[in-house]
Structures are given as structure tokens and as C-alpha cells.
Structure 1
Amino acid sequence: MQSILQYRRFGNLAEEQLATDPEKGIGLRNRNFRNIKDFSANGNGSKASVAGDEVSVVSSQDTLPNPDRPRETQEADKPPTNPSADPLNRSVTTEGGEDDTSDVSRAIIVGFEPENDPMNPRDWSFGKRLMVTIVVSFMGVIVGWSSSIDSGIIPQYAEEFGVSEVVASLPTGLFLVGFGTGAVMSGPFSETVGRNPIYIITLIVFMLLLVGAGLAQNLAGQLVSRTLAGIFAATPLACAGGTIADVWTPEEQVFAFPIYAIISFSGPVLGPVVGGWIGQSNLSWRWAEWVTLIGAGVILVIVIFFQPETYSPVLLKWKATHLRRVTGDDRYRAEIELRQTSLPARLLLAMYRPAIMLIQEPTVFLFSLYLTVAYIIIFTFFTGYEFIYEGIYGLTQGETALCFLGLATGLLLCIPLIPLNAKLRSRDITRTKETDPVGKATPESRLYWAMIGAPALPISIFWMAWTARPDIPFWSPLAASVFTGFGMLCIFITCYQYLIDTYGTYAASALSSLTLMRYLVSGAMIEVSIPFYKNMGVPYTLTILGCISAVLVPIPYFFYSSMMLFPTLALAAAFAGGTVALPTGDDAPFLKVVSSTEAIVGNSIWNATVGASVVKPIYYQGKEIVGDAKGQYYSYVDQTESFNFSNATIVDSDDDFIDVQFTTPEGEQHWVIYRNQHGAYQYFINKDLPSPLGEWRSVSRLDNATFTNGHTTYKQGALPELSEIVSGEKVQDETWELSDGSYITKYDWSDFINSAKAWGVYGDEIGCWYIHPSKEYINGDHLKQELMLHRESSSGDTVLLNMIHGLHFLTGEEHEFAEGRVWGPWLWYLNNGSVEDANAKYDEEVQSWPYSFPNADIEAGHHQRASSVIGVITLSDGRAASGASVMLGDNESSQLPTEQGANYYYRTTADSDGNFSFENVRAATYALYAWAGNNSDIGDVSTNLTANGIEISESTSAIDLGEYNWDIQNRTQIWQIGTLDRLACGFNNGCSGYHHGLSDESPADLEYTINSSETSDWSYAQTAEGTWQVKFELSDDPASDAVAILSTSLAGYSSGVNIEITAQGGNVTVGELSDLTNDASVYRSSTFCGVHRYEEFEVPAGTLVKGSNTIEFTVTKTSQWHGFMWDSILLEWS
């Protein structure tokens, strides 16, 4: 109800604003809106949960609301807005992804108003935001209550169903298991439809399942109902922290999250109190479910009638909907509407990533273990209190239940720590600002809660263990439980806030790891607790639990001391029985660890701050080169954020270099830094990249004023200005038409990546380049093209791309990558902007390949190579395969060489005698591929050679593969246009570089006469509806049964184009070319090729005659800039 009213208010507001700005309905085509940089997933500058669990989703910029105290977050905390934009939506922006091919690049992204926006939850009144917090806190109370209330009626439950008390504790244990699994899945749903629908739907289902549990007449029905109830009850815990982050700024969350934690934690503590008195009374144990049902019903009514929607992406979606309605401009979009990752994909990610992080991330594992032990202690009390207070002191079931109030009192003791923690946080911010004005307080300042409260947990458990005796009043263990509750909550708050700050955009996955482990283990321990207390006795059971918790107490102190007291410590890893030897001296390469998610690497020439997700700032010879741009990062298609790296570690070194490893669940990023090196070598080792995977890259987005020019093999000079892009009319994917009829497109900055030397961006003082001395780890064959650099169309960033697995001119084939797959090393090179120097550096690096790193312990395959692999290819007609393109690629593959990408690749060209040679080949199993190459002597050969099962082993001498016989077609040629080399070279405009719109020069109708017309009279691309005719003469009458074979070889193809092939004035149908897989080459500016297609068609006997003949190619369906790119047409007698 509240959400419906809220939606209507948004519509009314949009109409009111339109009334004050009537020109808005005309549209905004010519306006220049600035990009909202780093627009967060929830639209308000904070990081939103991916699969959150009780997530206070905050950034590491939390500060105090008191303006007299130091602040980490200023106005930059709010999304940047365009002050020149109109009143209706001052924060809209024309937004385009750097490699976008969707409608995103034509959209106007809506945002909140710069201040006092009634739509923005963070601009609501204090009272309204406090109400939202209290409501979600009490949702946590009721589901937490439900998790524990059944523990108070175990004896009555066991008696009715005729089972032991161990079995009777199963409903509580399975409810906790449901909590763990349900919490992982709740986040993605809430981030699709909003918080309120998920709260309401899951609460309703939860209540229905409570009815099922209350009415169950057998054990199985009760257990199923309770397990499912736990799954649906997890939503308030999983999403409540996100709601808090929606309405409170990071600085306010320092206060808001502990308050939420104190209130919501009272639920599982108070549940046994009510359950115990129900069990002792004359009421049925089923009233435990009915009481919970009543409480849940009250909460549900409050949520429906009073709780507003707070999830900003959904609110902005509502805003965009109303803007489209009132303006008639369909371009208004919220970011959530443009999200391309499907809900199933996000659910899968939410489920598998937490498990991976739990295994691979020591920080996640240690804090999960710590909180799990604390939960084990609390939840085993649900059954253990019976042995303590009933067994030792003889209290009744109801009186024993009241003893849980000691834990509740301990929760309240945390209240005074809230301002104290805020003061300590403020102190850390001040200290950070003194040394780095733009710095942030480290995540380690989140450890104060545990450092204050953690010792209370083992102390209280030991206290309870050895004073719970008949000769000591029960007040002693009861007092001990107060400190247990205090220590428990302190640990909880620290674990959550520390992991959130440490893992940034991966915080939700880290917290899901925390949730999975603690609830699954706690649920299992419920079953163990009764025999544990019964057989071991209270003192020894509690002593064991106290010892375990005591062992874990040093965790917060360890992290605080290692990161806060020694932030410049370079963490060196041990290997091969010894430790690495670090370089020394003023010019030595270095690693400075600032925190677990931030480190500075470099040498005396340059340095870069490697943050959790981006490398920024970067200094070269004293000048900062990123500016307001995004920085350097890794990303892959469908990932909205770049990778989050952590745990900077030196894994290899000698006196001249260090190899620094940054870890992430997907893999390991390495920087190899030498003394006096202008830049660094980089490589990446796969651990768990999504599979299958399409585009995968590293990107450098740099200051547009520093880097004004670009350099590829085919294009050099000034990058377009952002003002030029904005002034143009967008006509297709990242392409604009200017007023003079010319075009700007980022695809003009493409190249053949596997033959390119250095490519980069540069200005008057500084150049930034990517240099690959080997292309063995880059997908595709000799003809694989890639986008290399461009001007980002919304922010103006200068973008230098390193498409280590790219698909810009391919059909979109995705590949599976084995664990341990390596991309690199390549050189990220900085210089004075000299193109000549960059190319000379490329030549120098080629001579140095293969590098001595990575060492064999890091990646053994880098050193397991054959020094060379040689062989010779001859054609079946006796000719040498002169000039053939030859490649070692995927074994037993159905993909064309251009489309391959899962293996390592080696490419060469056969000499005039058909000999070929590959250098420094990794040991593996390959297939050998050969086809007619550019400028080869076999441009009439339409077939290709494939030889599978080539085993290459480590060898210091050449491996001779011997001679391969290439079986070619033995037909009599009638005529041929172009050569069969998979390129459009030789035709009009063919192989002339990258020029958008050049296909417009191709005629709709064309007449080509064999032996009269030149190859250049045939155009490289057929893109307009019309007919191209090939006319030729036959001097003799063909035999009556003579069948001709028409071979059509396409260099590229755009989807949605059909060609009908006919003969003799259209009287004879020869065939059709249509419905091929799109490779984007024609409409993305290439005049060379895309993905090769080859088709043969029979020209029926009797069709061709002595004298004049024609073959027609008629385009019957096309669209602008789409078409066929020709390689060769060959007519032969069969």
C-alpha cells in the first residue's frame, strides 16, 4: 500500500515539474549531459548488496555526522549531477558503456536531484528514516524469535511425537539451515523488484508455513514446514542491512547499524523466554507457532501500510517510467532497466561465489569461523540452559527461559559503545587526512567493537562453566551470560563492518559466506548440543566452547596490528622452503600495503595505488595520469563492476624485481616490477572466471587532457573530443554522424591484434602503451581484429584497451577456461609520448621473450616449451603451400581458427617452399591449421588443412612435425574474382583501414565482366538492395551433363542480410546466402574481414551455354551498413 502511494506521488511530482518546464517534452537530443561517474548499484553512492545477508552495505568512507569532526565523505558522496540540466531531472546523463552494443548508449540515465529530493531515501526526514530502520529491525526480531522459540517447547514436542529430545530439536536446527540457504538467494530478488515486494511476499509465505508447522500431525510435516519457513524467514536478515544503507549515509551508518543489530538480535534471545513459558503452561506447544504467527502478522500489516520502498534503483525506475509518460521521450531509463545480467545468472553467482571466497579468502574464512563459534555458543544455549538451570538449580521450564534475559541485557550493554566507536573512527579519519588529504580510514578501524568486546566471550563462558554449581547461586552463571551477550554482539558488528569495508563490491558475497557457515554449522550443532551437555557435563562442555572461543580472540588484534600499526609492511610469501629476497635501494621496486584492499606498487619512476577494484591514482615521473577518469581495471562482459582484488603479496623477487600478486575469487593479478622500468609487466592466472566467458580484458581509462592522441597500425593522431561526439547524432552502436556528414566511431581505432606492435595513447609529455611480445594467450588467428582504444562517449575518458579475449569482430563465441590458464605477461609501458620509442620497445621485448617470469612454482607451463616447432606443407597438386597462413590451435575443434580461444595459439606464414616454424611453443596438445593467406601463391585454393592430435613436449631442440599433404580441389577453373585469402583486399575500398560509412560507396547494382573488368571494379562489401552481375563468355558448348560449382567465400557478414544467387537473367536459382551468424565487421568500420564463411553451390547442368552467361547476386534484405564482405568468388567445372 505504502509503495503504491509512493509510486503515485512520484508521478504527481513528475507532472508538477513538467508544468514548470514545458519544453521538456520536446526531448533532449542536443543537450550535453555529463556522466554520473561511479554511479552505484543502488543509485545513491553506496554499494548495494549482490546477495546480501544482514548487510549494512557501507563504503569505507563512514564518518561522523558532526560537522565539527573530520569527514571522509563530502558532497562527493552524492552522485554528481549536471548543474545545467533542467529542473525536471538535474541528474540525467547520456550514458554509454565503453563496449556497448545495446540501447544503453542511446538512453538518458535518470538520477536523484542534487539535494532535498523527496524521492531519494537519504533525503527523507530523520523521523521517516528512523521509522524505516525500526520496522526492518523488528522484522529481524520476529524471524529471529521464530528461530529459537521452538527450543523452549522441546520436552512437550518430544512427548507428543514420541521422539527423543535430540530429534525434537531438529525443527530449530533445520530452521537455521533454512536461514543459511535462504539468505544467499534473497539479495538478487530484492535487487530486481525492490525491498518491499520481497519483504511482503516472503513474510506471507513464512506465515503460511508457520500455519503448516502449527497444524502438522507428524514429524515429517513439522520438519518440512520449519525448514521452508527458515528459507523464507531469511529475507529480513538478508536485506535489512541493505535497507539501512538505502536510507542512511555512510557516516550515519556508524550509528544506525549497531542500533539495528541490538534490536534484531533480541529476537533469538527472547524467543526461548516465551517458548519456555508456553511449554510450562497448559497451552499446547503449537502455541509457539501461533504466537510467532500473530507477531509476524502485526509486522506484515505495518510493512504493507507504513514501510516505503527504499531501494534506489527501483525508485529511479519509477522515476524513469513517469518521465517517459509525461514527456513522451522514450530514452529515459534507470540503470536497473539496462542491466543485462539475468536474475538466474545473478542467483548462480550469489550461490557459488560465497563458497569460493570461503575457501580462497583467509580473511573471510577467519571471520566466518569466529562468528560461527560465537553463534554455536548462543544457539547451543537453547538446549544447554535446560542442563544448567533445570539440571543444576532445579528451576522450572519457565524460570529457565527467563534466564535468557541475561543475554538480552548484554545486548543493551553495547549501546554505550556506539558513540565510543564513532569517536575512535573519527580519530582514525583525522590521522589519515594528516598524511593523505584524499585518503580513507582503513577497514581495520572497524575492529574496535571486537577488540573491546571479544575477550568477554571466553571469559564469560569459563565463568559460567565453573560457577554453575549447586553451591553457587544461579545469579553467577546468569551474570556471566550478560557478558556473553555483550561479547557476541561486539563480534557480530565487527565481522560485518570489517568484511564490508575490506571487500567493497564483493562485500555481499563475503557476508553470504559468513551467513552460510554460521547458520549451517549452528544448525548442525543444535543436534549435537543435547548429547554434548548430557555426556560431557556442563563444566566440560562450556570449557571446550570457551577454549575454542579463546583461541579466536586474537583475530581482531592481529588484523589491527598488522595493518594499522605497520601499514608500510611489504608482505612477502614463503616459497620453495625459503623466503623471497627483496630488492633494496632508493631505486628498488616496492610494495606498500595500506590495507587488505589497497596497496601502492611502483619504483622510483612511477607508482600506482591498486585499490579493491581499480588502479588509481597513477603517477609517472611526478605527474598524475588518471585524473577524473576511472583508472585501470580488469573486467568481463556482463560484470557491472571491475574485479575486487585483495591480499597484496610478493610471491617472487630478486635484487632487481618483485612479482606482486593480488588475489580475487576469479584469479590472481600479477605485477612484475623492475628497477628503473617505465611501467610493469602484468599477467593474470585464472582460478574461477565465469564459464563460458566472452569478452575479457584489462582496461586503462586515463585523463583526457593528458592523453589526446591514439596510435594503432591503421590510425594515428588526435582522438575525437567529447564535444564532437555530443554534437553529433547517434546513428548506431558508439557511432555519431556530424553536421558535415562525416562519422565518428570508436571502431575506427581497431587493429589486427595478433600482428599489432605497440598500441597506445599519448600526449605531449606522456604515453601509455600495451606491448605483447607474444600473442600466444590471445584468442583467434592471424585475422582476428580488436578494438584497441577510443574516447569514452559519456565521460570523455581516454580508454586504452587490452582485449586479451575479445569478440568485437567475431560471432560471439564463448569459451571455457581451465583453472591455471594464464594471460600474459605483457608490458604496460609508460614513456614520453614517443611512438618511435614504443615500437622500439616492442622490438626489444620480442627479443627478450619468453620472460624468466612467472617462475615455475607460480606457473610451470610458462617454462615447459619447445624451442621451435617446424614442418612443411605441400599441396596435392605438387605445389608448395607458399604464403599459407599456418596456426597451432585448439585440438579437435569445430570452430574456425578465428573463433577459437580456449587454448594457446601460435601463428606464422609458410615460406615459398611451404616451410613453417613456430618459436617457444608451450607443451600441450594442438591441431595444425592452414589456409590460403594474404599475398600467398595459392589464392585459388578453396580448401584448408587441419591436422589434430599434435603433441608438443618440452624440448631445447626443434621438434619436426614432418610433411603435411594438403588435399585440394581438382577442378577446372572457369573464372575467379579476388583471391581466396579470407580478406577483402584487392576490391574497391577493400583493406583500406577502418572507416565507418565506407560501405555507402558500394553500388546497389554492379556489372562485372570477366577478362574485361579489374578486381578493383568489384566492391569490398555488398550492402544495398540490388543486383551485382558477373558476365562471362564460354567459347565452347558445355557437355549436356556438365555441372559447375560456384564457390562463394565471404570475408565477413552482418546479420539480417539475404542474397539470392541466380543465373542467366534470374531464370535459374543457384542458391541463397542468409541467416548466417553476425560478426559485426561491416557495420563496425572494418574493410578487411570478420569471420570467414565459405559456401559452394551447384549450377545445374544445361544452365551455362556457349557464348554469353551471367551469374547474379541479388540482395533482397538488408539494413544500413549491414551486408556481405567479399573474399572471393570462384566458378569451376565439377
Structure 2
Amino acid sequence: MTFTNDASNPPSPHRPKPKPLVADLDLEATITREEAAISRYGGDDVEEPPPKSPVTKGPALFAQAPKDPNMVDWDGPDDPANPQNWSRGYKWFVTTICIVLSVNVTFASSAPASATARIIAEFHISREVSYLITTVFLLGYCFGPLIWGPGSELVGRRGIFIGAMFMYTIFILGQALAQNIETLLVTRFISGFFACAPLTNSGGVIADIWDANTRGLAASLFTFSVFLGPVLGPIVSGFIAHSDATWRWVFWVMMMFAGVCTTSAFFLPETYAPVLLARKAKALRKADPEKHKEIFAEHERQDWSAKGIVKRTILRPFSMLSMEPILVLVTIYLSLVYGLLYALFQAIPIIFVVIRGFTIAEDGLIFIGVGIGTTIGSLINAWTSRHYPELIKKWKGFPPPEERLIGGMIGAPILVIGCFWMGWTGNYQSVHWAAPAVATVFVGCGISLIFLAFITYLVDTYLMYSASALAANTVVRSAVAAAFPLFTTQMFLNLGVNWACTLIGLLMLLFVPAPFLFYKYGHIIRGKSKFAPCIDLMIKKQMDEAAGQSGEKEKGVQA
């Protein structure tokens, strides 16, 4: 699962300017230029980090050159072509399609989990090899974000959605008809490579169409959908595996679901502002070549050579990962949390099938607890974000990113509690099955809160570079999640459910201070970052200077 650039299409720079934060504090022109720069560059189209700013020690984006009169922009703040100005109902229609696509591709990642016993019997493979059915799909998630995220910022969101979903669906056919394990694994990997496109780009679509005041709810629902899919997979496949139907029906159901979702992708409009403005410039030049021959869009002036595209897409995420301590630490934490989610697909059957004798279908129903937990986590996150509209007004649209971490402060200890609870109640058959089942609610809630908090933190921290930051995060955490199913079963059988969960709980306990430390010291680390704009630090510095000058004037008057 991956969220993209939160600033890829902010409100139009032509909107009415907000009132100053403090009397005599001239921030309007500065912030408006910054918003215009982010809007024009459209996320990771920025070629290189600008020189260090003496104010924030971050990128100096505030000295943008005057706008070229020949550069195409929106026709005023109410231009209906601007996705930010679409009706609320249509925005929810687009958001719903993105949510459904994300549920579908994450459903495919876990659906075969309950059918592995029948696949082992038919292909005569070891249980260890069967774990690769989930692992190779997640390995596809490692490589896909490097193509689909940057690709959507080159050619637009809609084409990527349709093309990737079509190929993902076609390769499910290969899984359903596979006559050997090699074919099944290869088609699973390729299908996963295409399947991650909605996860990579749906966050970008949400940022394209929703303004900062109303984006929170849409983002929460999207994140919930990313966790809903893996939860539904074992539930559906469990009933298929428990019936008289062949294991291939798991993949036929996956394909039918994917076919419906691929059809819905055709109803998605293009939402990426730089691409829309490029199309507008092209249409103007075509309509009147003489009059509009000098017309251009900022998107058309980027470096479109192979070297330029590779440098600002595939290479930048790894460059950031090597230089940004915030990105490194957040990525390590989220990788372990994401790996824990996929470890549950092996751990829960051990607790409920091996120890308590549940059927495969009954075991699948236990995953409902994880789904309930992720739902509760999304609701808690929305509740903790209720103050954000006021922060947006106060900070000219750029509140401190650390304000996003409140949900993580709640979720980190909840996840640790859930791990210990599930381990020490799940290990003993004498303990009622409801005890470890309820623990899955806490695990799901903690995972959801941590993801929502830290993904939005990365977006707000890196702004126009957040697509690269999220791509790096997605690649690493998908690789870690792909590895977890390979050793989870052996770990739980050899250590016992109690000590295996204790080990995981202790790892999670190490990171409990993370959101609290970032909340207190994150602004110091961001101030030294090469990629973080730190607009809030600039605003605070100027506010403090203005307050200091005002205080000196008052002292002078009193004297």
C-alpha cells in the first residue's frame, strides 16, 4: 500500500489571498508563490532540490521567477476544468472508484492464502514453496511503484489506472489456468507488478481533487480500503476452500472481481493538473497556431530525455532514502508494521486451526476482527484530525507536519498491547477463542493508526517530493512484507504462539516512542533536510520576528 504527493494539485494560485497571520507580516506573496510553484511543477516534476534557504535551511522555493504570460494556467479560481472545482458529489464518485480498485488489488494479495493446502496437494510442492504464492505477489509491489507513480506524473493518472488494471486482470487468468507451480508464481509476480498502480496513484488522485480542508476524510477511507482487501481475501477464499469447488475458483472469483473493477476504471477522469494544463496548451495551439504559437504548459518544459526521466523518477527515491533520516526511520517502522499484517495470514491459522481445530472457513472469519480494528483506527484518526482545518487557516495552508502524528501516538501502544494479548491468549487451548479474536481488533486498529499518521506525515514533510518519498517507502516495506510469510509459520511453531508474538511485540515496543519523538524534535530534523521545504518554519520565524519588532515598538512607546 502506498499514499502520493499531497501537494500535487493544491488550490489554484489565483484564489483570493487570505488575510495576513499577523499585522504588518507580509507572507501572502511568499506563500502564494510557493503554492504556485508546487502546482506548476506538479509533484516530482521538480528537477533538483533548490539551494538551501537561509531562513529554513530547506529548499529555497520562495524566489520563483515571475510567471511567463505565455504559460497556460487555470481560467481564474472558479475554472470548472480544475479538478479542485468539481462538485462534491463527483469528487466522491471518483474517490469511490479509487477505493474499490484498492480493495480489489489488496484482496488479490491475500486471497490464495486459504487455498494453499489444495495447491500443495495438486502440484506436489512443499509448504515452504507455497508461501511464495503470497511473497511473489508482494515482490511485484516492490517494483511497480517505481513505474506507476512517476508514470502518472509523466502521462497522467487515468491511462496508468486503465492499462495497469487491464494487465493485472489478464494475468489472473494465467493463475487460474496454471498447470504447474512455476506458471502460478510467474503470473502472480507480474499481476502484483501491475496491481500496485491503484495503491500508488489513488492517493495522488485524492490530492488532485480535494483541498486540504476536506482531504482528511477521503484519505482515511482510502487507507481503510487498503487494509480491508487483505482482510476480505482469507474470508472469501476460506469458504471456497471449505466447499467442494476446486482451488482454481479462488482465482476465478479474483478475476471476475478484477474485471468489474477494471471496467469502473474507464469512468475515472484525468485529475493530474500539469497534464490537464498541457492538454489545454496543446488544444489552444491547435485551434489557432498563429495566435497561440508561443503558448506552453510548465509540464512541457521538463527534461523529457531518458536520463532526465530516470533521474527524477526511479533514482530520486533511493537518493532520498540515503540522505533523509526521517524517511529512513519511518520506512523501517512501517515496514515492520506492514510485515506484521501479512504475518497474520500464517499466524491466525496456527492459533485457530492448529491449536483450536477451527475449519478453514471459520478461521477466515477471524479476519473480520482485523477489519473491525482498521475501521476503528480510521475513525479515531478522523477524530484526532478534527482540529486540522483551524491549523490550515493559522498556518496559511502549511501546518507543521508533526500535527499528523497524534493518531500514531495512540496506535503505537495499542499495537503492542494487541501483539502480547494475541500471543498469550492464543497459545493455550483452554483460553476461549474469543480472547485472541478480540486481540486482532487491537492489532488492526494499531496498524491502521500508525499507517495513517506516518504516511500523511511523509506527505506533509516532503510536499513536492512526497511521491518519491512514498515510492521509496512502498518499495522497502513491500520487500519486508514479502519476506514475512517465508518464516512466520516456522517462527510460530518453533517458538510457540506466545513467544513469537512476544518477539514481535518487543520489536513494536522499540518504536512506540517514535511518533512522540518526531512530534517534539521532527522540526529540527526537517530544518536540516535537503528535500523538506519547511514552509511552517519560515512562517514561524517571520511571525516571531514580527512579534519581536512589535514588542520593541511597545517598549519604545512606554519609554
Normalised TM-score (structure 1): 0.42
Aligned equivalent of 1:366: 329
Aligned equivalent of 2:264: 302
User: Aligned with 2:179: secondary structure?
Assistant: coil
After superposition, give the CA deviation of every residue in 1:831-875 in whole Å (9 maximum; x if it has no partner): xxxxxxxxxxxxxxxxxxxxxxxxxxxxxxxxxxxxxxxxxxxxx
Aligned equivalent of 2:358: 395
Aligned equivalent of 1:1131: none
Aligned equivalent of 1:54: 3
Aligned equivalent of 1:449: 407
User: Aligned with 1:416: secondary structure?
Assistant: helix
Aligned equivalent of 1:503: 462
> 1:192 Cα shift?
1.8
Aligned equivalent of 1:515: 474
Structure 1 residue 345 corresponds to structure 2 residue 319:
no
| Aligned partners of 2:335 and 2:481 also within 8 Å | yes
Q: 1:344 to 1:61 in 2, by over 3 A?
A: closer
Q: Which runs of 5+ in 1 are unaligned?
A: 1-51, 63-68, 82-97, 99-104, 564-593, 601-609, 624-1134
> 1:241 Cα shift?
0.6
| 1:324 paired residue among 285, 291, 295 | 285
Distance in 2, Cα, partners of 1:195 & 1:60: 13
After superposition, give the CA deviation of every residue in 1:356-415 in whole Å (9 maximum; x if it has no partner): 333332211211111111112110111221111101111000110111110000122134
| 1:527 paired residue among 472, 486, 496 | 486
Taking the TM superposition and a 5 Å limit, the aligned residue runs for 1:992-1071 are: none
The code of the aligned residue for 1:461 comes to C
Q: 1:339 to 1:599 in 2, by over 3 A?
A: closer
| Aligned partners of 2:5 and 2:466 also within 8 Å | no
Q: 1:129 to 1:343 in 2, by over 3 A?
A: farther
Q: 1:218 to 1:109 in 2, by over 3 A?
A: same
Taking the TM superposition and a 5 Å limit, the aligned residue runs for 1:384-783 are: 384-426=347-389, 433=394, 440-468=398-426, 469-563=428-522, 594-598=523-527, 611-612=533-534
| 1:377 paired residue among 335, 340, 343 | 340
Q: 1:79 to 1:451 in 2, by over 3 A?
A: closer
> 1:189 Cα shift?
1.3
| 2:191 paired residue among 229, 233, 236 | 229
The code of the aligned residue for 2:165 comes to L
Aligned equivalent of 1:13: none
Distance in 2, Cα, partners of 1:277 & 1:71: 60
The code of the aligned residue for 1:156 comes to R
Distance in 2, Cα, partners of 1:165 & 1:211: 24
Structure 1 residue 313 corresponds to structure 2 residue 280:
no
User: Aligned with 1:250: secondary structure?
Assistant: coil
The structure with the largest strand share of the pair is 1
Distance in 2, Cα, partners of 1:391 & 1:300: 38
| Aligned partners of 1:184 and 1:238 also within 8 Å | no
Percent identity for Structure 1 against Structure 2: 32
> 1:477 Cα shift?
0.8
Structure 1 residue 251 corresponds to structure 2 residue 200:
no
The code of the aligned residue for 1:462 comes to F
| Aligned partners of 2:9 and 2:207 also within 8 Å | no
Distance in 1, Cα, partners of 2:460 & 2:101: 25
Taking the TM superposition and a 5 Å limit, the aligned residue runs for 1:647-1046 are: none
User: Aligned with 2:386: secondary structure?
Assistant: helix
Distance in 1, Cα, partners of 2:497 & 2:449: 25
User: Aligned with 1:455: secondary structure?
Assistant: helix
| Aligned partners of 2:9 and 2:272 also within 8 Å | no
Q: 1:555 to 1:59 in 2, by over 3 A?
A: farther
Q: 1:234 to 1:343 in 2, by over 3 A?
A: farther
Q: 1:286 to 1:320 in 2, by over 3 A?
A: same
Aligned equivalent of 1:169: 131
The code of the aligned residue for 2:375 comes to L
Distance in 2, Cα, partners of 1:56 & 1:455: 28
The code of the aligned residue for 2:407 comes to W
| Aligned partners of 1:194 and 1:309 also within 8 Å | yes
Distance in 2, Cα, partners of 1:257 & 1:388: 33
Distance in 2, Cα, partners of 1:70 & 1:333: 32
| Aligned partners of 1:189 and 1:343 also within 8 Å | no
> 1:271 Cα shift?
0.9
The code of the aligned residue for 1:520 comes to A
Distance in 2, Cα, partners of 1:78 & 1:422: 27
> 1:278 Cα shift?
1.5
After superposition, give the CA deviation of every residue in 1:78-101 in whole Å (9 maximum; x if it has no partner): 9999xxxxxxxxxxxxxxxx9xxx
Aligned equivalent of 1:198: 160
User: Aligned with 2:231: secondary structure?
Assistant: helix
Structure 1 residue 272 corresponds to structure 2 residue 234:
yes
Q: 1:401 to 1:392 in 2, by over 3 A?
A: same
Distance in 1, Cα, partners of 2:20 & 2:382: 16
Q: Which runs of 5+ in 2 are unaligned?
A: 12-17, 22-26, 37-49, 51-66, 547-559
Distance in 1, Cα, partners of 2:438 & 2:35: 52
> RMSD in angstroms over aligned alpha carbons?
3.2
| Aligned partners of 2:385 and 2:404 also within 8 Å | no
The code of the aligned residue for 1:449 comes to G
Aligned equivalent of 1:84: none
Structure 1 residue 183 corresponds to structure 2 residue 145:
yes
| Aligned partners of 2:71 and 2:296 also within 8 Å | yes
Distance in 2, Cα, partners of 1:154 & 1:80: 51
The code of the aligned residue for 1:463 comes to W
Aligned equivalent of 1:908: none
Aligned equivalent of 1:784: none
Distance in 2, Cα, partners of 1:70 & 1:534: 63
Aligned residues: 498
The code of the aligned residue for 2:371 comes to A
After superposition, give the CA deviation of every residue in 1:692-726 in whole Å (9 maximum; x if it has no partner): xxxxxxxxxxxxxxxxxxxxxxxxxxxxxxxxxxx
Distance in 1, Cα, partners of 2:483 & 2:345: 13
The structure with the largest helix share of the pair is 2
The code of the aligned residue for 1:507 comes to S
> 1:597 Cα shift?
2.9
Distance in 1, Cα, partners of 2:95 & 2:397: 30
| Aligned partners of 1:166 and 1:530 also within 8 Å | no
Aligned equivalent of 1:998: none
Distance in 2, Cα, partners of 1:614 & 1:486: 30
User: Aligned with 1:333: secondary structure?
Assistant: coil
**Structure 1: 4+ residue segments shifted above 4 A:** 59-62, 69-81, 426-430, 437-440, 610-619
Distance in 2, Cα, partners of 1:113 & 1:204: 35
After superposition, give the CA deviation of every residue in 1:505-524 in whole Å (9 maximum; x if it has no partner): 22222212211111101101
Larger relative contact order (CA 8 Å, sep ≥ 6):
2
Structure 1 residue 334 corresponds to structure 2 residue 280:
no
| Aligned partners of 1:456 and 1:487 also within 8 Å | yes
| Aligned partners of 1:70 and 1:429 also within 8 Å | no
| Aligned partners of 2:334 and 2:477 also within 8 Å | yes
Aligned equivalent of 1:24: none
Structure with bigger gyration radius: 1
| Aligned partners of 1:153 and 1:285 also within 8 Å | yes
The code of the aligned residue for 2:286 comes to R
